[in-house]
Amino acid sequence: MSDVVKKPRSLFDIAINVMLIAALVYLGFRYSGLLYPSTKVNSSAQAQAIMYSTKWCPVCVEARGFFARNKISYVEYDIEASEKRRQQFYQLGGQGVPLVLVGETTIFGLQKSKILKAIRLLSADKQSSK
């Protein structure tokens, strides 16, 4: 048997590992929207968007972060928690989550540019109707 002598890690190796872990944690929080205050509201009357989602969907997590970063108020309906919301989801043509409604516009998936464009059009319509 050979005797294996473990070499102690250098301070540089430890610092690199700590920085990598910190970067991964930061990116995880940023991706999930946890670094931003939530823009989720309780009433669809207050919301700029409605999102049909599930709790486990990674794209839905990204959508929550996207809404928070862009200060878009939204209402979220979990299609697995409510039969009524699941039926609405299917009536809208939903096949996958997230499904986002902005005014009369239905957006399938997280199409960020389409969501921002629909928000701008909705805001312009509200301004012109005043």
9-68: pLDDT as tens digits: 788 888 888 898 888 887 776 666 666 778 999 998 899 999 999 999 999 999 999 999
In terms of pLDDT, which residue wins out, 29 or 87? 87
Task: Bin 24: left if φ > 0, else alpha if -120 < ψ < 50, else beta.
Answer: alpha
pTM for this prediction = 0.75
Give the pLDDT score at 85: 97
Contact 79, 89 (CB under 8 A): yes
| Cis omega (within 30 of 0) for bond into 98 | yes
Q: What's the N-to-C CA distance of the chain in angstroms? A: 86
The amino acid sitting at 81 is A
Contacting residues for 92 by C-beta, under 8 A, at least 6 apart:
52, 99, 101, 106
Domains of the chain: 10-130 (3.40.30.10)
